[in-house]
Structure 1
């Protein structure tokens, strides 16, 4: 897998608000964590592709101007980190652990205060 190519497709899908394209990269039993999820849906841990779709759908509903600009892409062993700037200018890292070609675990990480991560709507 080419990490930069993946990050480009990831950003393109997010910016198009294309959940089907995004979710095609995740295993059915994916686990995803995010402090923004805790704010939007009341839990920081999302288990399964259907739950991830529900979280991201709610995020897009509540943040209709959501847009990401990739700043950097970092590769590790079965891991890609996408550093990006969101629509509010906040810096975010998406840490993605792969099982073959699909993401099995992901973590949204935010610069600063975990109780009000940059880019989350108040």
Structure 2
């Protein structure tokens, strides 16, 4: 059972998420996530990880993102908007290639991300 988080706390998490990605500090990114995190993205099978598009656990997530960062030397996210619910933040941003992405981040009672979904435009 997740508890309600303050909108300001969730918005801050979203801003921090953008900042740590832009710092290219994978270990700092991972500190925002719970050990049992589940992450879903169409990039996961494209990068040679699980065909389902979902990876489970921080260790697999580290391997996936480590590979991705190695291929994206110019990675940079520009925040467009943040949306909050009692247990999640959705981060709408633009990447270094001008693509808009909405990242859904659900948090547990401790405020760590337990579920992440990268949502891309369908074209």
Partner residue in 2 for 1:41: 48
Normalising to structure 1: TM-score of the pair? 0.88
Size of the alignment, in residue pairs?
A: 113
Partner residue in 2 for 1:116: none
Which of structure 1's runs of 4+ aligned residues deviate more than 4 A?
none
CA displacement at 1:12 relative to structure 2? 1.1
Unmatched runs of 5 consecutive residues or more in structure 2: 1-5
CA displacement at 1:63 relative to structure 2? 1.1
Unmatched runs of 5 consecutive residues or more in structure 1: 114-122
**SS at 2:47 equivalent:** helix
Partner residue in 1 for 2:119: 109
CA distance in 2, matches of 1:53, 1:42: 12
Normalising to structure 2: TM-score of the pair? 0.87
Residue 15 of structure 2, aligned match among 2, 8, 21: 8
CA distance in 2, matches of 1:59, 1:47: 16
Partner residue in 2 for 1:59: 68
